[in-house]
Amino acid sequence: MIRAEPLLRNLSRFCAGRAKQQTCRLRTLSVTDAVNALRPFYFAVHPDFFGQYPREREVNENSLKRLNSYLECLQRPGQKSLQPTQLTFYIRDTSNDPNSPQHSADTS
């Protein structure tokens, strides 16, 4: 199971400001749920689609490694909240050339 706590941090902050009688609950995502949710993202940034763009390919490859490592840490039983991290990805522009990078997107 992947704890969605870090992913829902902003929701928790929002809920903390709500009336005291309202309660926010953090939910747990299964590994399958996480894989399904991230599938379109992986398809948009996978390094194999950036063969003609070595710099973008390397950036995406390193960022995906870091993301996967982060997600693996979340799966460990008893893992405390991790600090947010910033990753950079280049996103494929499939409208013109399916193999050309569109732009970089910083994620936090």
Task: Return the amino acid letter for 88.
Answer: T
Residue with tokens 């070595």, as numbered in its chain: 54
pLDDT on residue 44: 93
pTM greater than 0.85 (yes/no): no
Range among 20-34, 51-65, 93-107 with highest mean pLDDT value: 51-65
Answer whether residue 19 is part of any domain: no
Task: Report the sign of the C-alpha dihedral through residues 81, 79, 87, 45, in that order.
Answer: negative
Provide the number of structural domains found in the chain. Answer: 1
Please state the separation of Cα 36 from the chain's center in Å. 12
Answer whether residue 69 is part of any domain: yes
Share of the chain above pLDDT 90, in %: 33
21-47, pLDDT tens digit by residue? Answer: 445 555 677 778 888 899 999 999 999
Answer whether residue 61 is part of any domain: yes
| Domain encompassing residue 30 | 2-8+25-76+83-107
